[in-house]
Amino acid sequence: MCLKHYIVFLFLFAYTIVYAQQPLSNFYQRPESQAAYPFTTFYFFNQSRLPLYLPEIDEYVLLKCDFHLHTVFSDGSVWPVSRVEEAFREGLDAIAITDHIEYRHINKDINALENYNREYEIAKSAADNLGVLLVPGLEVTREYPVGHYNMLFIDDANPLAKHINHDNPYDTTAIVDILSAGKAMGAFTFWNHPAFPNPNGIAQWNSVQQNLYEKGLLMGIELINTGLHIPLVHQWADEKGLTILANTDAHGALLLRDGSYRSMTIVFARDRSIAGIREALFAKRTIGYAHNYLYGKEELLKSIFEKSLKTRILRSTDKEIALEIRNLTGLPFELEFIDDNHFVPPTYFNYKFVLYGNETIAVALQKKNAASQSKEISVVVNNLHVKASTPLKTTIKF
């Protein structure tokens, strides 16, 4: 054995005697096996997310938004930054923290009466870092029959405090004054949960709302709140030309199961910006989403449906055509085939089936006429409502 080999042997022997007998490491370690991945990280940009994927519309950017959220600065239990982090995890594009302007005395640990913009200021840097658009806003809260109203795009809420009766914060007499002041500041105002605080638990359009509407102080209406919708409210939105909104009205922390999503407003914006959202809300280009149902104007719902699908003909004969339908998005579609002049619906689905998000299905359609050159089949999409309790009727082209 040469000297070099002898030195190596002594080193390995010494390592075995000295180090191999040492106790287990007391340093932090991370498992290195495949079973340990994906592991949880405390750095947001590395976290796994499963956002709701929407189709690309040529003219617009579809933004997922929640415009009704509360924090510890009124009657919520969540810190403002947590609202931003929740939205980022869920893949939302924009949120509005809309704390009750009259409830800011509730949390004795928060000095909320000195600055009515404080929750926005706290959340803004986190929103900028995570790429979440933070819309400034607040909620005006009055007794029935006046109700509650969110005002968005209020850059400075402090001047509005003078319209609060501090002896009776829920005083209904000053509602026109505060909403008018908000409108002068460029606010977009919508009526929250129209069935609450009605003691009967039903939505009623009273003289108060009619007065606000006629004065131009009511631009939108919350069709969906905490996942629940009221068909009559959808009818009001259509008849009166109000922008449709869907929000969570979350007061506590939001925790959703994988594959499920919060109620949200889908905004058809010209660009991904606060200004783009504002323009779209005033232009009424929104859709309400909750529990995999969409509610909105027919042209908007139809554009989403058409852009979500990709079709391919598997075979075509004189008697039938076999069609592959692929869903490119995360939205499921509950389809019901209609017997038209060209094709007989497939009976093995009992005329109905659900085309789930990111999945493909094949259907065989019998031709009524061997000479038919039709390249579309009529369907009803039962989870896309274009009017109150009225689903979208359209076609699938191939």
Q: What would the mean pLDDT of 292-320 be, rounded to a whole number?
A: 96
Angle between helices 175-184 and 207-214 (to 10 degrees): 30
Q: Is pLDDT above 60 for 14?
A: no
Does any domain span residue 11?
Answer: no
> Which pLDDT value is given to residue 373?
80
By C-alpha distance, which of 112, 167, 188, 175 is closest to 143? 175
pLDDT single digits (tens) 36-94:
555 555 666 666 678 999 999 999 999 999 999 999 999 999 999 999 999 999 999 99
Does any domain span residue 29?
Answer: no
Distance between alpha carbon 389 and the CA centroid of its chain, in Å? 21
- Gap between the Cα atoms of 142 and 128, Å rounded: 33
Q: Do 224 and 325 sit in the same domain of this protein?
A: no
Domain containing residue 330: 309-397
Task: Please provide the distance, in angstroms rounded to a whole number, between the alpha carbons at the two ends of the chain.
Answer: 79
pLDDT single digits (tens) 225-259:
999 999 999 999 999 999 999 999 999 999 888 77
- When divided into structural domains, the chain yields a total of 2
Show which of 296, 324, 347 is a domain's final residue: 296
Does any domain span residue 13?
Answer: no
Q: Do 235 and 326 sit in the same domain of this protein?
A: no
Q: Do 206 and 288 sit in the same domain of this protein?
A: yes
The DSSP output letter for 83 is: H
Q: Do 206 and 333 sit in the same domain of this protein?
A: no
pLDDT single digits (tens) 128-158:
999 999 999 999 999 999 999 999 999 999 9
Neighbours of 97 (CB within 10 A): 29
pLDDT-derived band at 278 (thresholds 50, 70, 90) equals: very high
> Which pLDDT value is given to residue 201?
94
Least confident stretch, 9-13, 150-154, 376-380: 9-13
Q: Do 289 and 313 sit in the same domain of this protein?
A: no
Q: Do 222 and 285 sit in the same domain of this protein?
A: yes
> Which pLDDT value is given to residue 113?
86
By C-alpha distance, which of 313, 285, 304 is closest to 357? 304
Q: What's the CATH code of the domain at 113?
A: 3.20.20.140
pLDDT-derived band at 1 (thresholds 50, 70, 90) equals: low
8 Å CB contact between 245 and 218: no
- Gap between the Cα atoms of 123 and 126, Å rounded: 6
Show which of 255, 273, 296 is a domain's final residue: 296
Q: Do 112 and 241 sit in the same domain of this protein?
A: yes
